[in-house]
């Protein structure tokens, strides 16, 4: 599993011209699921996501976590995080999980995250989504499961 996370001042996701999820200060998390991923990856990524110290303290150093600032999370599925662009001119998505497996692990990720961090919004898995954000920093990080 891969998470591309961006520190944001606000973010939203729209499907069919309707906002389906929006947050204020926090993290926009794009979640990619590999064909060989399994449930143990979920716990590892959730722990990293809510405890990674990427928010500034009073001295301007990245020393605070999402929990520390009482921020919010917007989770958006993104199978293209496993695109292979090394050959030809068209990306290959054979490394990405199937729709069924991807949805199962995405739903598990969101469900488990909400159990320990209640301020979670989401997009809609598999939908064509438009994401709007005000990046804070900008600060963008990649987290991969072991």
Residue 93 annotated as catalytic: no
CA dist list (Å): 22 to 28, 32, 81, 96, 110: 10, 20, 22, 26, 15
Sign of CA dihedral 123, 129, 130, 135: positive
Phi, psi at 143, each rounded to 5°: -120, 130
Residue 80 annotated as catalytic: yes
Phi, psi at 89, each rounded to 5°: -115, 0
Active-site position among 6, 78, 121, 122: 78
Active-site position among 80, 93, 130, 140: 80
Active-site position among 30, 55, 79, 125: 79
Residue 121 annotated as catalytic: no
- Work out the number of other CB atoms within 10 angstroms of the CB of residue 15: 14
**Quick check: 89 and 41 in contact, CB under 8 A?**
no
SS (H, E, C) 27-42: EEEEEECECCCCCHHH
Active site (catalytic) residues: 78-80
């Amino acid at each position: 599993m891969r998470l591309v996370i961006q520190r944001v001042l606000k973010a939203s996701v729209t499907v069919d011209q309707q906002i389906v999820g929006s947050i204020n200060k926090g993290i926009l998390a794009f979640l990619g699921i590999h064909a060989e991923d399994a449930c143990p990856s979920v716990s590892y990524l959730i722990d990293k996501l809510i405890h990674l110290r990427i928010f500034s303290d009073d001295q301007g150093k990245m020393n605070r976590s999402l929990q520390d600032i009482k921020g919010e999370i917007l989770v958006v599925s993104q199978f293209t995080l496993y695109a292979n662009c090394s050959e030809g001119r068209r990306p290959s998505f054979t490394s990405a999980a199937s729709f069924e497996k991807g949805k199962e692990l995405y739903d598990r990720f969101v469900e488990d995250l909400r159990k320990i961090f209640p301020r979670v919004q989401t997009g809609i898995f598999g939908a064509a989504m438009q994401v709007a954000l005000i990046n804070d920093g900008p600060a963008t990080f990649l987290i991969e499961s072991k």
